[in-house]
Structure 1
Amino acid sequence: MRSYPLTAPALRRLAAGFAAAALIGLTACTPGAAEPAAGTSESPSGVTDLSAQAQLKPTFTADETLRALLPERLRSSGVVRTATSVGLPPINFPGGSSTEVKGLNADLVAAVEQLLGVRFQSENYPSTAAQLLALDSKRIDLTTSTNGDTKARQEKYDFVDILLSRNVLMVKVGNPAGLTSAADVCGRRFGEVKGSFSVLPTLRDVCQKAGRPEPEVSSFEDIPSMQLALASGRIDTYVGSDFNVVWDKSQGKAVDSVALPEAGTLVLGWTVRKGDEGLRDAVLGALRKLHEDGYYAEAFDRWGLSSNRLDPGVNIGAQGTGFNG
């Protein structure tokens, strides 16, 4: 449930929802609130298959104050060219068609589009590196795939940050490799996605101090292929986020996780080029309005990510311990 006070209309909607046993969560208490998607019947905490979770259906109207922050080129065209991805569930993952993207970001994007009175023309990119290159070349205006906010990246980009990722060691169910700490990864078969934020320097430092061999590293194009490698025993572990565990378990995958405090935390956010402050501030303002409305929290709760939620902010990557990595 939401943490802000319920109005009388909200209480009436809640009562109706209990009577019908058809709501996933509370609807927002303002005119722009999301209506629950049809055909859903469980609360977010009770969902066992997030891949079947329906998206929220926001009904916000354009906010002219926020629209005025957008650069003229975007207001005139009515289009913001965006990069997304489908490899970070439940934040983003493939939908029912080759172009549909589902998950947390899809719920946020749908509402931000309405508040800004523009359409996000999205294109899927396979990696963070590809998205940032598209920003550099001005092929896109914004990434709505959540990229890690680091000190090095802030030299070229601004981040509208929304969530905190806590790193864990992903292992097969039952932890057959017997991993209990970072030191146990030394000399083991370790996977990483090319171009992603790397905790390998941290692991190498741990191994060097322990007098143990470095991990044997295998590189992968994406997370799904790395997951398959773990399931088949080709690697012993890889570092994932705590929300990877939420997703995998919702899919019935035989995975467990081991705490990895040495790897710390990483702030994730949407990304724009330095100098594009108008777009940055408009997006931030829209997300903050969603936060005030309650829609923001509802979207995170819906996808099992309430513990990862951050209040929207610009370049707040230093709240994560991986900021200087």
Structure 2
Amino acid sequence: MPRSTATFPRSRRFAAGLASLVLFGLAGCGSGEEATTAAPAGVTDLSQQAQLQPSFSPDDALRALLPQAVRDSGVVKTATSVGLPPINFPGATAAEVKGLNADLTSAVAQLLGVKFSSEIYPSTAAQLLALDSGRIDLTTSTNGDTKARQAKYDFIDTTLSRNVLMIKSGNPAKIASATDVCGKKFGEVKGSTSVLPKLQKVCQGAGRPAPELSSFDDIPSMQLALISGRIDTYVGSDFNVVWDKSRGKPVDSVALPEAGTLVLGWTLPKGHDGLRDAVLGALQKVRQNGYYAQVFQRWGVAGNLLDPGVNIGAKGTGFGG
């Protein structure tokens, strides 16, 4: 399996993950390292999930698509992140990145007969700057595919992200839709792109009071406020729900279609068609042989799977944002 070379201290990498996931910004947020209860019986704690060990042979037709420089060096310089569990998150060491993308990159590297030499970056913005400077060839992190970004970059899309209303298990606040947030205690992380205006508009249209906003420094403190009853709900990723429930946290979710959806994918500069097509071809091959679906199922996000494709961001409602 290709190894990642960490370029940021572990504490800084976690801090970078504690930004709220908003569909029109960076697709990455973490739940932090706060203590959790044991996962329920029969539920796998995804933080302890073992990575798959694929054993694919190099595909000569796919290798022929790679730029000659990559074939000669045998290396693709990539960027990843650790802020969106279970898609990507820190492993036991500073050099280990775990999660769904690690399983996909292992298979793609094998099929292309190359090594993915990876660095960890704290944000989408940092990754795109590294692409612009030529420091890396490809990001294997989950960056949002938007119309504005497509003007400069190509996306090899794999995943659909949804925002949801996070609620305490048992739903004591009786929240079933966006209108039920009206007049309730609503949390957001300071400095994040706010979903509150959308909720205020919903409440205004329903003739109901606006949500009462409480601001937090990070997601763990906001989640603790939810569990303790100091707030009734906040907006998070559907990935968060899968991750947190696997770790025994007393949280659940309610759909929030008003917040939209966003297609996430690997990213490279326009004009790098050989590398783009080789990576896409490898992902399509593992989609056909069942490995791709196995990876999504293993990490609890089978419902977020997209057939891999280039620049299919318009499949998400947040594409124009």
Mapped to 1, the partners of 2:266 and 2:132 lie a distance apart of 15
SS in 2 for 1:61: coil
120-129 or 182-191, which moves further after superposition?
A: 182-191
Return the offset for 1:207. 4.5
Cα–Cα, structure 1 residues 126 and 173, in superposed 2: closer, same or farther, change >3 Å? Answer: farther
Matched, 1:169 2:162: no
Cα–Cα, structure 1 residues 194 and 108, in superposed 2: closer, same or farther, change >3 Å? Answer: farther
SS in 2 for 1:60: coil
| Per-residue CA distance 1:229-284 (angstroms, 9 max, x = gap) | 22135765332232321111110012111111211222111111122222211110
Contact 2:199 2:210 in 1 (8 A): no
Contact 2:169 2:250 in 1 (8 A): yes
Amino acid at match of 1:110: S
Amino acid at match of 2:81: S
Percent identity over paired residues: 70
| Per-residue CA distance 1:169-218 (angstroms, 9 max, x = gap) | 1123334444333244457443258677x645533543454565476374
Amino acid at match of 1:239: V
Match of 1:251 in 2: 247
SS in 1 for 2:147: coil
Mapped to 2, the partners of 1:239 and 1:253 lie a distance apart of 16
Mapped to 2, the partners of 1:91 and 1:170 lie a distance apart of 19
**What does 1:104-253 correspond to in 2, within 5 Å?**
104-185=100-181, 188-192=185-189, 199=195, 202-210=198-206, 212-213=209-210, 216=213, 218=215, 225-233=218-226, 236-253=232-249
Matched, 1:80 2:76: yes
Cα–Cα, structure 1 residues 189 and 138, in superposed 2: closer, same or farther, change >3 Å? Answer: farther
Cα–Cα, structure 1 residues 52 and 172, in superposed 2: closer, same or farther, change >3 Å? Answer: same
Contact 1:158 1:274 in 2 (8 A): yes
Mapped to 1, the partners of 2:59 and 2:191 lie a distance apart of 40
Matched, 1:90 2:86: yes
Mapped to 1, the partners of 2:137 and 2:234 lie a distance apart of 32
Mapped to 2, the partners of 1:119 and 1:228 lie a distance apart of 39
Amino acid at match of 1:74: V
Match of 2:49 in 1: 53
Mapped to 1, the partners of 2:65 and 2:231 lie a distance apart of 48
Contact 1:172 1:231 in 2 (8 A): no
Q: How many residues align?
A: 276
Cα–Cα, structure 1 residues 178 and 132, in superposed 2: closer, same or farther, change >3 Å? Answer: farther
Return the offset for 1:127. 2.1
Q: Could you state the TM-score of these two structures normalised by the residue count of structure 2?
A: 0.77
Equivalent in 295, 301, 305 of residue 297 of structure 2: 301
Q: Could you state the TM-score of these two structures normalised by the residue count of structure 1?
A: 0.76
Contact 1:55 1:103 in 2 (8 A): yes
SS in 2 for 1:139: coil
SS in 2 for 1:268: strand
Mapped to 1, the partners of 2:254 and 2:43 lie a distance apart of 23
Aligned alpha-carbon RMSD (Å): 2.6
Relative contact order, higher structure (CA 8 A, sep 6+): 2
Return the offset for 1:145. 1.1
Contact 2:160 2:306 in 1 (8 A): yes
Mapped to 2, the partners of 1:99 and 1:315 lie a distance apart of 30
Match of 1:311 in 2: 307
